[in-house]
Amino acid sequence: MENENKAPEISYDVRVKPGRAGTDPQAPDWEVLELEDGVVKNTADIYDNMTLAEANQIAGMWRQKKEEAEAAPLTEAVQ
């Protein structure tokens, strides 16, 4: 029963888009995925056709937003 109310663990992954070579970091072969408990739950959470640097930048922004959102309630409670 404890797992029924547990919020999913959200993570972000950068990978080579299926069917692409992924050998050139400057080629638009990369995608960023939002994972819930390690699984893509919504294909709208996949951003593709990026260079490796672009994909890493997007994933970094998403991770930062997640960390800020998780920290926000603690900050508000202290005030």
Number of domain units in the chain: 1
C-alpha closest to that of 47 among 66, 65, 64, 60: 60
pLDDT range class, residue 76, cuts 50, 70, 90: low
Summarize pLDDT for 49-64 with one digit per residue, the tens.
999 999 999 999 999 9
Summarize pLDDT for 11-26 with one digit per residue, the tens.
999 999 999 999 999 9
pLDDT at 9 over 80: yes
Query: The domain containing residue 37 runs over which residues?
Result: 2-78
pLDDT for position 65: 93
Q: Which residues pair with 13 in a beta bridge?
A: 33
Q: Where are the beta strands (DSSP E) in the chain?
A: 10-16, 30-36, 46-50
| Burial of 62 (C-beta count, 10 Å sphere; 0-12/13-18/19+) | middle
